[in-house]
């Protein structure tokens, strides 16, 4: 029972949600779910050991969590203490034995993943780990080549989906046509409104310069070799290109 109580304490303290008992016929079974979209992210169930393919008699406390990676799901279910989702979709849910076989740290990590997978899009965006972006900068409208001459921090148009701690690589358009800067986002959602025939700015972000690149290091022709042919707005970066930029 100790590991089960530790799991309950972790969920309550981390996500500030209460356990819910939904089944009168199964008073020992319960769930945790999101307050906004009401989706479950964890379920506590009691199963007969033999129903899980085990040889011994008796009951086993289980924690069901959602897993987004099919390969990880397959890998874990081949290990002691893990089973395909008991009374849940076996292609997406994992059952974890709460008998001490699986370390608490592993259980908590899987709860965190399940919480994120089942969260609303707004919450996922807020909770997601830092991302890397390729963003455009047009020298016709802003002297970006000299923007960092006297400072390491500037304000820039905030792209949709970008948040604090993200990394942005600034691609300067023609006639430069190359990535010149790597910067970290240190503040977002700064109120600002500007519109003309070429620009529509609804908010600004503050970015801190981390690295400079010579124009010949990552010109557009090189980017095309990594599958990047156009940069008209904020976009993700292929992993191979990110490794080179780092």
- Per-residue pLDDT of 197-240, as tens digits, reads 878 888 999 999 999 999 999 999 999 999 899 898 899 888 89
For all residues of the chain together, what is the average pLDDT?
90
Asked whether the beta carbons of 184 and 210 are under 8 A apart, the reply is yes
Angle between helices 104-117 and 2-15 (to 10 degrees): 40
**Amino acid 97: pLDDT:** 93
Name the class of domain 2-127: alpha beta
Q: pTM for the whole thing?
A: 0.57
- Quick one: CATH architecture of 132-245? Roll (3.10)
- 41, with CB counted inside 10 A (0-12, 13-18, 19+), is buried
1 confidence band (pLDDT: 50, 70, 90)? low
Over the stretch 157-197, which tens digit does the pLDDT of each residue have? Answer: 998 889 899 999 999 999 999 999 999 999 999 999 988 88
- 196, with CB counted inside 10 A (0-12, 13-18, 19+), is exposed
Domain ranges of the chain: 2-127, 132-245
Q: How far apart are CA 149 and CA 159, in angstroms?
A: 24
Over the stretch 186-204, which tens digit does the pLDDT of each residue have? Answer: 999 999 998 888 788 889 9
């Amino acid at each position: 029972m100790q590991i089960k109580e530790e799991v309950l304490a972790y969920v309550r303290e981390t996500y500030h949600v209460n356990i819910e008992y939904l089944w009168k016929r199964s008073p020992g079974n319960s769930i945790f779910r999101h307050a906004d979209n009401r989706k479950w992210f964890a379920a506590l169930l009691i199963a007969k050991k033999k129903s899980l393919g085990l040889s011994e008699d008796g009951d086993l406390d289980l924690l069901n969590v959602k897993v987004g990676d099919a390969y990880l799901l397959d890998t874990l279910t081949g290990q002691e203490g893990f089973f395909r989702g008991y009374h849940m979709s076996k292609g997406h849910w994992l059952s974890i034995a709460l008998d001490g076989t699986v370390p608490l740290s592993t259980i908590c990590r899987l709860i965190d993943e399940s919480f994120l997978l089942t969260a609303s899009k707004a919450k996922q965006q807020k909770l997601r780990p830092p991302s890397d972006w390729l963003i455009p900068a047009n020298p016709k409208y802003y002297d970006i080549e000299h923007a960092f001459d006297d400072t390491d921090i500037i304000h820039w148009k905030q792209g949709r989906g970008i948040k604090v701690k993200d990394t942005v690589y600034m691609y300067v358009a023609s006639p430069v046509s190359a990535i010149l800067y790597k910067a970290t986002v240190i503040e977002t959602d700064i109120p600002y409104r500007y519109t003309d025939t070429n620009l529509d700015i609804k908010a600004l972000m503050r970015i801190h310069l981390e690295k400079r690149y010579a124009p010949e290091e990552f010109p557009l022709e090189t980017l095309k070799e990594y599958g990047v042919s156009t940069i008209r707005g904020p976009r993700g970066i292929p992993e191979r290109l990110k490794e080179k930029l780092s």
